[in-house]
Amino acid sequence: MTINLTQIYSQVRQIEEESANLTFVRSSLYNYRCNLNKNYKSAEMTYINQAIENHMDKLAVIAKNLSAIGSDIRREAESIKRTDDLAGQNNSGK
């Protein structure tokens, strides 16, 4: 059984796109927070800012982890492919 690198690369691209989407959402939240701070002055803003920043931090961690997972999947798939290729060469040489 051989590994389909094309399919795996496609799936890794999807993971990377989701990571980029989360980074965009984080950026949008930051802009939203800035606009709120500029236009809304109240004691509650401290709590709102904390909540938004908490979500922004979580989004950053998730995006970073997705990116790392994508890299790990790509690296391991390439390693499996190399192993399969070597096994195929050894079997054909018998």
Residue 70 CA to residue 19 CA, distance in Å, equals 9
Per the domain annotation, does 69 fall within a domain?
yes
25-57 per-position pLDDT tens digit: 999 999 999 999 999 999 999 999 999 999 999
Per the domain annotation, does 56 fall within a domain?
yes
pLDDT exceeds cutoff 70 at 93? no
The pLDDT, as a whole number, for residue 94 is: 58
Enumerate residues 6+ apart whose C-beta is below 8 A from 77: 3, 5, 8
Enumerate residues 6+ apart whose C-beta is below 8 A from 80: 3
Please measure the distance between the N-terminal and C-terminal CA atoms of the chain and give it in whole angstroms: 19
Per the domain annotation, does 30 fall within a domain?
no
Per the domain annotation, does 62 fall within a domain?
yes
Q: How confident is the prediction for the chain on average, in pLDDT? A: 93
The pLDDT, as a whole number, for residue 1 is: 62
Q: Which domain holds residue 66?
A: 46-81
- AA identity, residue 28: S
The pLDDT, as a whole number, for residue 79 is: 94
Per the domain annotation, does 22 fall within a domain?
no
Count structural domains, the chain.
1
